[in-house]
Amino acid sequence: MTVMNSINKSKNIFTVIDVGSSKVSCLIGSPVRTNNVQIKALGFGQHASFGMSNGQVTDMKEIAHSIARAVESAETMAGFNINKVICNLSGGRPITKIFRNKLKIENGRVEKSDVFKILKFKNNYQIDNYEILSSSVIKYYLDNNTCVDNPIGIFTNTLTVEMNYTYGQKSIIKNLSSAVNLCHLSIEKFFTCPEASGVSTMLQDERTSGAVIIDLGANITSVGVFLNNKIIFSDSISIGGLHITSDIVRGLGTKSEDAEKIKILHGSALSHETDEYINLDIPIISDQGDIITQKIPKAMLTAIIKPRVEEIFELIQERLNQLKLNTTYINKVILCGGGANLSNIRELASNYFKTNVRIGRPIGLIDLPEIVQTPSFACLTGLLIKSLEKEEIFNLQKMERGIFKYFGKLGNWFDQNL
């Protein structure tokens, strides 16, 4: 191991890892304040993922090796070593729930102590076998259900707070943490895949007005709903791009690696009239076990792919129906992840969800390697942006403590409410 470069001593350096079923990727970055760009990439690395399936560790040694190789590549590019990382969590169906607390205001005017009290209510927030990853205030409500951002100083008889809690499955967290620890690294925090992908690919206006993020991974498709710039719903289904590849293997009788290439080069989620007349040379396994080339119409390939994509969208719609959210609030769907690279998937999604759909790519970062500027790395880059948000909150709290030290009650007010 080389001596750590002095730049790594800065608290403004963040390292994130996206541990998936097909690849492990690592990104090191630092915040910048130029032209609204959020983060400058310093190092990037990736490695094929072994020892993971459906977001769960199946071989501790193998996945630890994959993580170590990806991190080493990022360290080499950055020129220094790291010891802490922030990690994604997609396995075990991470979930987001919304809770409401209600408090009677004794003197009719909300004080900072009332806000502190309502945020500390110990309702039944725990879910068996799950751990709280994060929580945040969505909105405050007054007597007449008026929504306010900051209730302090406002007259009302009751105060209600609406909060979202994000959960991860304990066993998934423990196993991923153990794998990372084997690489002599520690995990500072976990973020769910849809939350990270959403902040990476959505504009703030989209997250505020209402949008759905769909991250089409290899084995898992994650879905999240953003409203008022908060994630209010998240879920996942255990179907992804590898299942499409498996369908091609069964439907055409080809090898897995060939099926993946065929999907990437010629696959489409929608058929066209000319597809019946376009023949593809497909390597298939003959009855004798030899690899032979056979011509098939492109329409046959699409007929294999489209039903699986529609199945994914159908399952997503079923999960979204559980939210019972007025669909008029959701006017945008963003597709990301490796599956978003499939030809015509945007058009199929637009027809299915009856709304505006676009392909999501990382935004707000500079000096990213070209390969990272694709939908496949939305979660990875989102983790880096979430790390920056976490640091800004920490710095704000630190500043507010200083204000409190010198300005007494005024500082205390800031400490509770900004």
Please report the DSSP string for 87-138 in residue order.
EEE-TT--EEEEEEEEEE-TTSB--HHHHHHHHT---S---TTEEEEEEEEE
Asked if residues 354 and 394 have their Cβ atoms less than 8 Å apart, the reply is no
Q: CA–CA separation, 359 vs 347, rounded Å?
A: 10
pLDDT score of 81: 95
pLDDT score of 205: 92
- Quote the Cα angle for 338-340-341, to 5°: 75
Q: Is 228 contained in some domain?
A: no
Residue count of the chain, please give it. Answer: 418
Q: Is 159 contained in some domain?
A: yes
The counts of H helices and E strands in the chain are 11, 19
Question: Count of domains in the chain?
Answer: 2
Q: Which residues span the domain enclosing 165? A: 95-169
pLDDT score of 97: 85
φ/ψ (deg, to 5) at 205: -60, -35
pLDDT score of 145: 84
Q: Is 4 helix (H, G, I), strand (E, B) or coil?
A: coil
User: CATH number of the domain that 137 lies in?
Assistant: 3.30.1490.110
Instruction: Convert 234-293 into a string of H (helix), E (strand) and C (coil).
Output: EEEECCCHHHHHHHHHHHHCCCHHHHHHHHHHHCECCCCHHHHHCEEEEEEECCCCCEEE
Question: pLDDT tens digit string along 134-175?
Answer: 888 888 999 878 899 899 999 999 999 988 899 999 999 999
Q: CA–CA separation, 381 vs 361, rounded Å?
A: 10
Q: Is 278 contained in some domain?
A: yes
Q: Is 132 contained in some domain?
A: yes
Q: Is 381 contained in some domain?
A: no
Domain stops at, among 251, 281, 306 = 306
The backbone region for 181, taken as left when phi is positive above 0, alpha when psi lies in -120 to 50, beta otherwise, is alpha
Cα dihedral 248/249/255/257 (nearest 10): 50
pLDDT score of 390: 58
Taking Cα atoms as reference points, which of 132, 180, 163, 137 lies closest to residue 17? 180
294, amino acid identity:
Q
**Which CA distances in Å does 337 have to 170, 199, 221, 344?**
25, 14, 9, 15
User: CATH number of the domain that 291 lies in?
Assistant: 3.30.420.40
Domain stops at, among 291, 306, 321 = 306
Cα dihedral 168/170/173/175 (nearest 10): -150
Q: Is 222 contained in some domain?
A: no
pLDDT score of 396: 36
Asked if residues 39 and 385 have their Cβ atoms less than 8 Å apart, the reply is yes
Domain stops at, among 286, 306, 326 = 306
Q: Is 33 helix (H, G, I), strand (E, B) or coil?
A: strand
Quote the DSSP letter at residue 149.
S
Q: Is 21 helix (H, G, I), strand (E, B) or coil?
A: coil
pLDDT score of 106: 87
Q: Considering just the CA atoms, what is the radius of gyration of the chain in Å?
A: 24
For residue 195 the two structure tokens come to 């939350």
Provide the b/e sequence for 344-355 (b: ≥16 CB within 10 Å). Answer: bbbebbeebbee
Residues of the chain with pLDDT under 70: 1-11, 33-37, 122-124, 325-329, 390-418
Asked if residues 152 and 413 have their Cβ atoms less than 8 Å apart, the reply is yes
φ/ψ (deg, to 5) at 59: -150, 105
Q: Is 176 contained in some domain?
A: no
pLDDT score of 91: 83
For residue 226 the two structure tokens come to 């953003």
Q: Is 6 contained in some domain?
A: no
